[in-house]
């Protein structure tokens, strides 16, 4: 499966403008929104997002008519990137591929945490994102299990919930987060 066959990839492609200058503004707005949501949560100022992107507020509203549309677009873009990472790491050794993807998943949860309350988890975009995430990461986990490197008594859903739970915690710094993530992954890994 290629990254462009994930349901979320079609959503992202349909939202992105075709004109080069419009696409550049759209991408700048997504990047600025991602930063603002990570720093300030779901209540981040739309004016601040436009300013960070170097565009006017009218450009933001032209691309994202509502705050919800901006949330869903940022979320879908993050999941689409996560799907691409799964493709990029797929040829690595099973455990290395899985842990590389999970470390990127931790970065994704920072954005997710900031907007999860603002979105209805049953929206079409959210459901497409969840399906894409499972299609991208599930095979990496299954491959690690088949190689005897990941425990066979847990599901991919169990693993994602554990990682999301760790990511939801406030840490002193990234180093502490990475240490705790490593300890959790040691509990998933089968040692021979």
Strand partners, 189: 150
pLDDT in tens, 82-118: 999 999 999 999 999 999 999 988 877 766 666 666 6
Cβ(3)–Cβ(87) below 8 Å: yes
pLDDT in tens, 5-23: 677 777 777 777 788 888 8
Would you place residue 143 in the very low, low, confident or very high pLDDT band (cuts 50, 70, 90)? very high
Q: What is the 3-state secondary structure (H, E, C) of 143-186?
A: HHHHCCCECCCCCHHHHHHHHHHHHCCCCCCHHHHHHHHHHHHH
CA gyration radius, the chain: 18
Least confident of 45-49, 153-157, 163-167, 177-181: 163-167
Please report the domains of the chain, with CATH numbers, ordered by start residue.
3-188 (1.10.357.10)
Strand partners, 174: none
């Amino acid at each position: 499966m290629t990254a462009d066959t994930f349901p979320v990839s079609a959503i992202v492609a349909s939202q992105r403008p075709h004109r080069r200058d419009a696409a550049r503004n759209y991408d700048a707005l997504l990047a600025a929104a991602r930063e603002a949501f990570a720093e300030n949560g779901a209540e981040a100022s739309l004016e601040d997002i436009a300013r960070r992107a170097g565009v006017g507020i009218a450009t933001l509203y032209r691309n994202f008519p509502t705050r919800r549309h901006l949330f869903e677009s940022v979320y879908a873009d993050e999941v689409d990137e996560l799907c691409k990472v799964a493709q990029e790491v797929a040829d690595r050794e099973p455990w290395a591929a899985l842990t590389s993807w999970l470390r990127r998943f931790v970065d994704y949860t920072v954005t997710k945490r900031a907007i999860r309350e603002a979105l209805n988890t049953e929206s079409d975009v959210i459901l497409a994102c969840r399906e894409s995430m499972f299609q991208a990461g599930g095979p990496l986990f299954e491959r690690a299990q088949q190689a005897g490197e990941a425990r066979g008594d847990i599901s991919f859903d169990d693993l994602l919930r554990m990682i999301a739970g760790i990511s939801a915690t406030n840490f002193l710094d990234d180093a502490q987060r990475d240490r705790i993530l490593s300890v959790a992954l040691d509990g998933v890994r089968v040692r021979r």
